[in-house]
Homo-oligomer: A and B are copies of this chain.
């Protein structure tokens, strides 16, 4: 168990998800973020749906007035059908980060220890700080969160309030948690009495391989399954959802009453109309096709221009590539400086280290390919090759 304050994660000055305060050199190609491509967001369909909404007096009344803390009923029903749960277990949130914070405030007692992915999505550590700074880093390996590692720590006497992992297309580590480990993690939680906070914003964006079922999470009294429309309909909506065990629905709603009453009725009204009109699946199909092409362009260019330079797994979905430097002699900080000087910026792996040993994560780079065109991605790799050769 370690204290977050001993780490150099910059937790006292979170920079936001796109590192808005980082100023790359003029003309640099930014592989930062995890921001969906603007051209993948359904602006025209939203305009149509929104115009209908404002012409419908009953819908206008619902959009402009207070609404239930749980969320708009038809939106919750639509989400519940996709998740395979009773609508009563769905709570609409102000996006995925808000769902994570609600989960933390609901199940993590002040000062408790929480097991987290290592490498980890730093935003979760920021959310966690509202309750605790004690974390138990758990390695993320080829098939995700190392459940056996955590089990060994628990057998040795460690105790945790919750375990946090990104289940599909991990940020930053790109991998997905295997079906066996989903069941094993939930069983471990039931045996030791901790909560599992499952963060799943990239789940819909699968462009290869087979969907890994979420039933293990959605059927457990110990799992909180957090998702969002951020990566499919756009971050700007700030609309997401939680699938909660029944006994946590009322505690989360009581918390909402204290924090923010409910998610915007306006955004819920538009998103509800959009998804119940059957428009969502096409958005996901178009987005995954776009991201498949981009991931392919990036991986292809790396093989072509920097052969042998990285250990690379071709992504099966999501927004990130997490290549590992093949040569131990290379200095990641120097590579980053050379890349930036040659007009490419990306996220350095050490930024995601959850443990005190940052060396493993520091051998990786996180390339976000989602909001760059194939031509930009190829040009970025060409520049990297020039910089690093």
- A-side interface residues toward B, CB under 8 Å? 12-14, 16-18, 20, 35-36, 38, 41, 43, 46-47, 50-51, 54-55, 57, 60-69, 94-95, 97-98, 101, 105, 123, 126-127, 129-130, 233-239, 254, 257-267, 269-270
Q: Which residue of B lies closest to A61 (CB)?
A: B38
Q: Which residue of B lies closest to A64 (CB)?
A: B234
Q: Are A260 and B234 in contact (CB under 8 A)?
A: no
Q: Are A97 and B238 in contact (CB under 8 A)?
A: no
The residues of B that contact A94 with a CB separation of less than 8 Å are 94, 260, 264
The residues of B that contact A68 with a CB separation of less than 8 Å are 20
Q: Are B267 and A264 in contact (CB under 8 A)?
A: yes
The residues of B that contact A126 with a CB separation of less than 8 Å are 257-258
Q: Are B16 and A66 in contact (CB under 8 A)?
A: yes
The residues of B that contact A97 with a CB separation of less than 8 Å are 259-261
Q: Which residue of B lies closest to A48 (CB)?
A: B54
Copies in the complex: 2
Q: Are A130 and B258 in contact (CB under 8 A)?
A: yes
Instruction: Give min CB distance, A62 to chain B, whole Å.
Output: 8
> Knowing A17-B66, A47-B54 touch, does A238 contact B258 (C-beta < 8 A)?
no
Q: Are B266 and A18 in contact (CB under 8 A)?
A: no
> Knowing A47-B54, A54-B47, A60-B43 touch, does A266 contact B236 (C-beta < 8 A)?
yes
Instruction: Give min CB distance, A56 to chain B, whole Å.
Output: 10
A sample of 5 more A-B contacts (CB under 8 A), given A47-B54, A64-B236, A101-B259, is A50-B50, A65-B235, A94-B264, A98-B260, A259-B259
Instruction: Give min CB distance, A30 to chain B, whole Å.
Output: 14
Counting chain B CB atoms within 10 Å of each CB, which of A57, A123, A254, A266 scores highest?
Answer: A266
The residues of B that contact A54 with a CB separation of less than 8 Å are 43, 46-47, 50-51
The residues of B that contact A67 with a CB separation of less than 8 Å are 236
Q: Are A41 and B64 in contact (CB under 8 A)?
A: yes
In Å, the complex CA distance between A233 and B36 comes to 30
The residues of B that contact A235 with a CB separation of less than 8 Å are 64-66, 261, 265
Q: Which residue of B lies closest to A68 (CB)?
A: B20
Q: Which residue of B lies closest to A93 (CB)?
A: B260
Instruction: Give min CB distance, A117 to chain B, whole Å.
Output: 18
> Knowing A38-B64, A46-B54, A47-B54 touch, does A261 contact B238 (C-beta < 8 A)?
yes
Q: Are A260 and B14 in contact (CB under 8 A)?
A: no
The residues of B that contact A239 with a CB separation of less than 8 Å are 264
In Å, the complex CA distance between A362 and B20 comes to 52
In Å, the complex CA distance between A43 and B95 comes to 26
The residues of B that contact A260 with a CB separation of less than 8 Å are 94-95, 97-98, 101, 238, 260
